[in-house]
Amino acid sequence: MKKFLFYILLGLAAFAFLYPFIWMVSASLSEERSITDVSLWPVALTFDHYIKLFENIPIAGSFVNSVFVATIVTFGVLVFSSMAGYALARHRFKGRNLLFYFLLFTMTLPFQLTLIPNYILMVQFGWTNSFAALIFPGLLNAFAILLFRQHFLSIPQDLIDAARIDGCNEWRILFQILWPVSVPTLITVGIITFMTTWNDVLWPIIVIREEHLMTMPQLVTLFAVGGRSMGQIGMKLASATLLALPIIIAYLIFQKHFIQSMAASGQKE
């Protein structure tokens, strides 16, 4: 009996979380004037909002931009952060600890603090209004380095020594020996990086002006809060739905790892 109550409570909670989301999807498929309903089912089903959306803004292009940027950044973070993590975990060199503490310190800084300096840097490099501004600042990530370092510390030194005797150089050790035994960490870092990059709005808004270079969240945000949606809630909701879709699909594919990586981001592995 107790269990039954418990499940009812859980069900209600789940509903409370899911409701706005389901409503968003169904409303985006309803006629504009019925959107104020709280219905969970589309009223007078229509794809008008989506069609108008595609006519009005280059949302498909922005989707491609987002995928492109997030993929490159994710791949870059995996490669470079694992390299840095490996060096910090397994190589002895002068200033290693200092470097590591410095890295930890940068993690405590709120990103708002570095926003302006970073922007000025992009201007100096002449990278504003280009993918370079979206990609390069994201390629190294203190948090990812930390995760890799901690993980590599847990791998027995013997494995690395054996590889070295077998004739591996540092590249091979990292990518051919350590990567294959670090799949969970790679997935964790990959998912977190991909999601953060995908969802980022503020930075793109600062460095990108031209519509054909915009990422999807940037475009959708500008569209939803700016005047372009002609005050039509339906179109705003349709754009929001499209924005959430890739993450939801990714979630369904990586469900198991997703939950692990969310837990991992809150604590040491």
Partner 1 sequence: MAEVFLKNFFKRYGEVVAVSDVSLHIHDKEFVVLVGPSGCGKSTTLRMIAGLEDITSGELYIGEKQVNEVAPKDRDIAMVFQNYALYPHMTVFQNMGFGLRLKKVPKKEIKERVEAAAEIVGLTPYLKRKPGTLSGGQRQRVALGRAIVRNPKVFLFDEPLSNLDAKLRVQMRMEISKLQRTLGVTTIYVTHDQTEAMSMADRIAVMKDGVLQQFDTPMHMYDHPANLFVAGFIGSPAMNMLPGKLDELKIFKDASGLFTLDLNGYLPSSIDAGEYVLGIRPENIRGDNRLNNPFYVPIQILADVVEPMGSDSYLYFKIGDISMTARLRPETAPQEQTAATLYIDRSKIHFFYAETGLNIKN
| Contacts with partner 1, residue ranges (CB under 8 A) | 156, 158-159, 161-168, 172, 177, 180-181
Cα 31 to its chain centre, rounded Å, is 32
- Least Å distance, CB 176 to partner 1, is 9
Which of residues 173 and 222 has its CB atom nearest to partner 1 in the complex? 173
- Least Å distance, CB 38 to partner 1, is 53
Could you tell me the maximum CA-CA distance found in the chain, to the nearest angstrom?
Answer: 72
Rounded Cα distance, 149 and 189, in Å: 12
- Least Å distance, CB 87 to partner 1, is 17
Rounded Cα distance, 149 and 85, in Å: 4
For residue 259, give the H/E element and its range. Answer: helix 233-264
- Give the CA radius of gyration of the chain: 23
Which of residues 97 and 108 has its CB atom nearest to partner 1 in the complex? 97
126: phi > 0 → left, psi -120 to 50 → alpha, else beta; which?
A: left
Which of residues 3 and 94 has its CB atom nearest to partner 1 in the complex? 94
Which of residues 162 and 248 has its CB atom nearest to partner 1 in the complex? 162
Q: Helix 183-199 and helix 59-90: axis angle, to 10°?
A: 140
- Least Å distance, CB 46 to partner 1, is 52
- Least Å distance, CB 113 to partner 1, is 37
